[in-house]
Structure 1
Amino acid sequence: MKTPKQKIVLGLKILVAVLMLLVVGFIVFRNALLEQAVAKVSVKMDLEYNSRFTVKKASFTGVSGIELNEIVLVPATGDTLFSIKKLKTSINLWNLMLGNVQLGSLAINQGFVQLVKKGKIRNFDAFLKKNKDETTTNEKKDYAAFAYRIISKVLNLIPTDMNVEKLTFKIDDNGNKTTIGIQKLTLANQQLETAIAVETNTFSQRWSIKGFANPRNKQADIRFFNRDTGAIKVPYLDERYHLISSFDSIRLNIQNIDKSGGELHIDGFAAIANLHLNHPKIASKDVVIKKARFDYRLLLGARFVSIDSSSTVQLNAVKMHPYVAYETDADTIYKLNIAIPKMKAQDFISSLPDGLFTHFQGMEATGDFDYQLHFKFNKNKPNQLVFDSKLNKKNLKITKYGEANLNKLNGEFVYRAIIKNVLQRPILVGTANGDYTPLDQISPYLQKCVLTTEDPSFFSHHGFINEAFKQSIIKNIRTKKFSRGASTISMQLIKNVFLTREKTLSRKLEEILLVYILENNRVASKERMLEVYFNIIEWGPNVFGIGEASRFYFQKKPSELNLNECLYLARIIPSPRKFMYQFNDLGNLKDFAIKQQNFLTTIMTRRGLLTLDDTIYKSQPLLISGSAKSFIKLKVQDTTKVEVDSIAVDDQFGF
């Protein structure tokens, strides 16, 4: 009878024998198995993706090495997706037996990968279709587990030893062509180095990527820069989207990727130097960010994806902590919090990107401030939207204005409107202009009507109305476009006097900051702001200010206007050049206009702005006696009496 020791020895001998048989069997039949695997992939490409996949020669080299020659993938309805002359790789056999494909080395010599779009046909469309399993299941996805699985698979496919030569990536989007040629790429001893040639229809450059990369430990620190002098130009986006952009260098650092306690943590930072952006929707000039850095901590759980509040975004000298979250536990919820710690006001002004805030150049300030923004949107409960913006200031004072000198509102100045990019005639805002009308000489009815339609809380707010912003955001999200604004008279005044009418991100950001300064630094009184507003806004074709408007329509002075005339003038402010379309061919207001005016009369009465005695004007006719009469097409030329009840009210007025 054998002893236990003898049994163990016998078992080990049997195990070794079995392993030897497996190794011998693998060596004998491995080429046949490899050819079978290639054939299986070829059939799958044909049946599932309508594409032809071929490998001219496939063979093993050494114990775990594989060499493939002339690999080609061609969609049936498009250009070749990729073609590689020679590919050599090695696979970790132990991980392979455990079900994981992990590359040890990779060598590619001569080939290309191309994405081609001709008309609406793309050579990669077949590979974008959704997985059938994903479209049929209603089970919620575990974001942390899903992301970690994808990241692990991708990193396992990145070899620890790599040598790539003459591999080209091509994009041809209906003639917008970009070629990125990797002349040489090496990864050895965790050190990455590349030599890249880039060519488009408009420029050619040489790039380089250098740094540290350890795919097995999930760490990297790489830098992307121009091998020649000058900045790196970003290809394709300029021709396809008219976004001209460049930068001196980019650095990407991944410090840690770890999954524990059901959460996935990704930590690191990204930095870019001297970023230039130019696009008609951003600004009229180049936008320059000299230094930007994002120290990130990404958190993913079973039902959420977030940027943790410990993350830091730095733009020049401005540092802020963002918190962004997407949650799908009970409801679908979007969250955004931004915190700017206490900083000097002058540092903030000096850090504003060049080209994005041109009207602030030269501005100087003293004091400190900090800022918090809290935003929360529940897709299933949109009316519970949270929007809370708060700026805390200490001894904050503007000591010198830049290009936009807000103090000019307190004196005489020349105003020139810009309509459809055309500069209009100059209007003197001051008593030397015979049509200029002080606020106390403007009919109180007109002041009440205009404030009701344009900005009911003008005398109580500080430039912005949070509730109006909330309703604007809700409607814009629902319609998936910017279909509603939340403009106050303060914002309209800044936009008209100091800014252009261009619809750019730059103009909107400048408007917000300038309104805040105007309203919170007591640059001008509310009464003065309203007086300037009445004297510059457009009230008809080539009609600016209430002095011209009251004469153009009624041959009166602004102080002589009755309620019906004031209701009419306030109603046409949104579209002053189209006032004539409010009348029918008999010279009477159309039904829709009468209904809107009646609604506003009711609103003003409810708010105590009108009394029942004021509504006596409803029985009096509206007489268009000025030169505006010639714009109204009438069947009976001497018909001039038009009955007007009230004023147009739209959701833009905040009702």
Structure 2
Amino acid sequence: MKTGKQKIILLLKVFVAFLLLIAIGFFVFRDSILQQAIEKASTKIEQKYNSNLSIKKAAFDGFSGISLTEITLTPKNADTLFSIQKMKTSINFWHLLLGDVQLGTLEIKNGMVQLVQKGNVKNFAAFLKKDNAESSTNDKRDYAAFAYRIISKALNLVPTDMSVENLKFKLDDNGKKATIDIKKLVLFDKELETSIDVQTNTFAQRWKISGFADPRNKKADIRIFNKDTGAIKVPYFDERYNLKSSFDSIRLNIQNIDKSGGELHIDGFTSITNFRINHPKIASKDVVIKNARFDYRFLLGSNFISVDSSSTAQFNQVKFRPYISYDTEADTIYKLKVTIPKMKAQDFISSLPDGLFTNFQGMQAEGTFDYKLDFKFNKNKPDQLVFDSNLKKEKLKITKYGEANLTKLNGEFVYRAIIKEVPQRPILVGAANPNYTPTDQISSYLRKCVLTTEDPSFFSHHGFINEAFKQSIVKNIKTKKFSRGASTISMQLIKNVFLTREKTVSRKLEEILLVYILENNRIVSKERMLEVYFNIIEWGPNVYGIGEASRFYFQKNPSELTFNECLFLARIIPSPKKFMYQFNDQGKLRDFAAKQESFLTNIMTTRGLLSIDDTIYKSQPLLISGAAKSYLRLKVQDSIPIDSLSVNEEFEF
């Protein structure tokens, strides 16, 4: 009678014999199995992607190696997607039995992969279509499980040993071309070395990628740099998007990819040196960040994706902790938190990227500060948006101004508006200018009307209105465009006096920082800011300041303006050169303009800014008697789209 130990040994022998039979059967019939697999793949590609997969010769090489020659994939009526002259690979047999395809080695010689778009025809379009069965499901995706499955499959397809010679990646987007030619790529004993030639319509370079890569243990440490002198230029984007960018080197480090407790953790860091970027929407000059590094920890759960708050980001000397989250557990919620620990103000100013903050060059400061931002947006409850920005300063003081010397607002200076990069005629802000008007010589109605339309809380805020920012963000998200700003009089003053009118990220960031400095360091009084504002803003075609405006429209001094006239002047501030479209052919206000006036009058009355006696002129028509009258006679356009000057667009409180 056999013992339990003998039974176990017998079962193991049977199992081993079974595996040997499978291996022998696979070895005997493998060529037939390989051909059937190729035919099945070819049929599927033809039916699903309307493309032809052709392999001239396919055979096994040794027990687990496969040799393929002249492989091509060509979509019908389009350019070839890829073509490889010779490829040899080996597959881990035991992983294959478990259903995983894991490459052991890979050799490629003389290959080409190309993405081509001619007109609206793309040779890769069919492969971007979503699977109908997948897209029709309403089940929530488990982000952690899905990402880990994709990452594992992708890394299994990265061989442990690899040799690639003359493999070209080509991009042709209606004549915008880029070619990345891998002359040689070797991955051996976890060490990676490459030699790459890059050719575009605008430049040619030689790159090198080297470092450590261990796909089975999910680790890597790779560097990209230029073999020649100079920085690496990013191809294609300069022609396609007018975005020019370059860098000296990039390092990508992956330390850990692990799934446990239903969460996926991805840890590592990436760094870049002398990153340079140029785009008309960013700044008028090259923007340069000398050193930047991101130590990341990505967390994915069943219903969330996040950058963990333990991550740190650094550019030059500025170091901060970001937290970014996308959560779909109950509602679709986006979160952003940024924390800058206490740091020296001078270190922050010195770290500002070159080209992005030109008005801060040469600025010096004392003291320290720390900063926190908390942002939360619920897609299904947009009006509950959270936007809290908190800066704490300690003995913070500007000791030397840069190019934008804010103290000049306290004295006489020459102002020149810049329109489409062309400086306009000089305007002296001071008593020597006969049109200059101190606030005590301006009708009090104008002050009330302009503050109501432009900045009702001007005398109480410190340059910014958090609630206005919130509402602006909500509306811009809802409309999916920048349809509403949150500009205060302080911001308009900074923009007009110290900055250009270019719509760039650089100008907006400079505007925000300069306004903060102006409003929080008691450089200029609110009354003086308002007086300068009244005397420099554009109020019509080549009309600047209230002194010129009151005569241009009404042949009056600013002190003589009636409530109706002040209300008109306040309403046209957003689009002063289009003032003539407020009137119909009989010279009377259009219906939409009259509605705006009633709307604003009611608000001012409700707020106690007006009495019944103040509105006595409402029943009288608005008469344009100055030089502006000629513009009404020349106007030939009978109508203007109401939404461009609507009550809801211009005046939201």
Same fold (TM over 0.5): yes
Shift of 1:512: 0.5
Q: What residue number does 2:466 align with? A: 466
Which secondary structure does the structure 2 equivalent of 1:633 belong to? helix
Quote the Cα distance in structure 2 between the aligned partners of 1:340 and 1:589.
52
What is the correspondence of 1:155-234 to structure 2 with a 5 Å cutoff?
A: 155-234=155-234
Question: When the two structures are aligned, how many residues end up with a matched partner?
Answer: 644
What's the counterpart of residue 639 of structure 2?
none
Give the 5 Å matches for 1:49-198: 49-198=49-198
Q: Alpha-carbon deviation of 1:188?
A: 0.7
Question: What is the letter of the counterpart of residue 318 of structure 2?
Answer: V
Q: Which residue is 1:604 aligned to?
A: 604
Distance 1:648 1:484 in 2: 13
Contact preservation (8 Å) 1:103, 1:159: yes
**Aligned 8 A contact 2:475 2:484 in 1:** yes
Amino acid of the structure 1 residue aligned with 2:75: P
Q: 1:302, 1:213 → 2: CA distance?
A: 29
Letter of the 1:413 counterpart:
F
TM-score (norm 1): 0.96
Contact 1:89/1:105 (<8 A) preserved: yes
CA distance in 2, matches of 1:406, 1:175: 49
The alignment status of 1:384 with 2:384, answered yes or no, reads yes
- Residues 357-415 of structure 1: CA distance to partner in whole angstroms, max 9, x if unpaired? 00100000000000000000000000000000010000000010001111110111111
Preserved contact between residue 571 and residue 649 of structure 1 (Cα < 8 Å): no
State the shift of 1:530 in Å.
0.2
In 2, the alpha carbon distance for the partners of 1:337 and 1:433 equals 49
Q: CA deviation at 1:453?
A: 0.5
Equivalence map 1:474-513=2 (5 Å): 474-513=474-513
Matched, 1:654 2:647: no
Deviation for aligned residue 1:134: 1.7
Displacement of 1:17: 3.7
Q: Which amino acid aligns with 2:342?
A: K
List per-residue Cα deviations over 1:279-320 (Å, max 9, x = no partner).
001100000000000000000000000000110110110001
2:388, 2:466 within 8 Å by CA — same for their partners in 1? Answer: yes
- 8 Å contact from structure 2 (residues 221, 251) kept in 1: yes
SS in 1 for 2:115: strand
**Aligned pairs (5 A) from 1:243-392:** 243-392=243-392
SS at match of 2:264: strand
> For residues 629 and 19 of structure 2, what CA distance do their matches in structure 1 show?
102
**Distance (Å, rounded) in 1 between the aligned partners of 2:488 and 2:7:** 91
The one-letter code of the counterpart of 1:623 is L
Q: C-alpha separation between the residues in 1 aligned to 2:90 and 2:468? A: 62
SS of 1:614's equivalent? helix
**Structure-2 residue corresponding to 1:525:** 525
Q: CA RMSD in A?
A: 1.5
> Quick one: distance in 1 between partners of 2:290 and 2:111?
38
Q: Is the 8 A contact 2:592 2:647 kept in 1?
A: no
> Could you list the per-position Cα deviations for residues 57-100 of structure 1 after superposition, in whole angstroms to 9, with x for gaps in the alignment?
11111111111111110000210000011111111111111111
C-alpha displacement at 1:421, in angstroms? 3.1
User: What are structure 2's unaligned runs of at least 5 residues?
Assistant: 636-644
TM-score with structure 2 setting the length: 0.97
Greater shift in the superposed pair: 44-53 or 571-580: 571-580
CA shift for structure 1 position 627: 1.4
Deviates more, 1:617-626 or 1:94-103: 617-626
CA distance in 1, matches of 2:85, 2:628: 78
Q: Is the 8 A contact 1:486 1:652 kept in 2?
A: no
**Contact residue 586 and residue 634 of structure 1 kept, 8 A:** no
Secondary structure, aligned partner of 1:100:
coil
Is residue 396 from structure 1 mapped to residue 426 from structure 2 by the alignment? no
C-alpha distance in structure 1 between counterparts of 2:74 and 2:625, whole Å? 76
Secondary structure, aligned partner of 1:23:
helix
Task: Tell me the distance in 2 between the aligned counterparts of 1:406 and 1:512.
Answer: 14
* 3-state SS of 1:368 partner: strand
> Corresponding residue for 2:430?
430
| 2:633 alignment partner, SS class | coil
3-state secondary structure, aligned to 1:622? coil
Query: Structure 2: how far apart are the matches of 1:19 and 1:591?
Result: 88
Hey, what does 2:638 align to over in structure 1? Answer: none
Could you tell me which residue of structure 2 aligns to residue 413 of structure 1? 413
Answer whether contact 1:484 1:652 (CA < 8 A) is retained.
no
Q: Is the 8 A contact 1:326 1:334 kept in 2?
A: yes
Name the CA distance, whole Å, in 2 between partners of 1:125 and 1:466.
45
CA drift of 1:653 comes to 3.7
Distance, in Å, in 2 between the alignment partners of 1:395 and 1:98 is 66
Structure 1 counterpart of 2:652, one-letter code: G
Deviation at 1:21, TM superposition (A): 2.7
**Alpha-carbon contact 1:587-1:634 (below 8 Å) kept:** no
Q: Unpaired segments of 5 or more residues in structure 1?
A: 636-646
Out of 570-579 and 32-41, give the one that drifted further. 570-579
3-state SS of 2:281 partner: coil
Partner of 1:516: 516
Q: Which amino acid aligns with 2:575?
A: S
* Partners of 2:588 and 2:621 within 8 A in 1: no
The CA deviation at 1:631 is 1.7
SS of residue paired to 1:383: helix
Corresponding residue of 1:633: 633
* 1:344 and 1:368 in contact (8 A); partners too: yes
Tell me how far apart the structure 1 counterparts of residues 2 and 606 of structure 2 sit (CA, whole Å). 106
Contact 2:588 2:622 (C-alpha < 8 Å) held by counterparts: no
Q: CA deviation at 1:14?
A: 3.9
Post-superposition shift, 1:594? 1.2
- CA displacement 1:21-53 (0-9 Å, x = unmatched): 322222111111111111111111111110000
Query: Aligned partners of 1:2, 1:517: CA distance in 2, in Å?
Result: 91
Q: Which amino acid aligns with 1:505?
A: V
- Measure, in 2, the Cα distance between the counterparts of 1:578 and 1:6: 99
Give the residue type in structure 2 aligned to 1:403.
E
* Residues 6 and 381 (structure 1), Cα distance of their counterparts in 2 relative to 1, 3 Å cut: closer
Structure 1: distance between partners of 2:298 and 2:60: 41
Query: Which amino acid is the alignment partner of residue 626 of structure 1?
Result: G
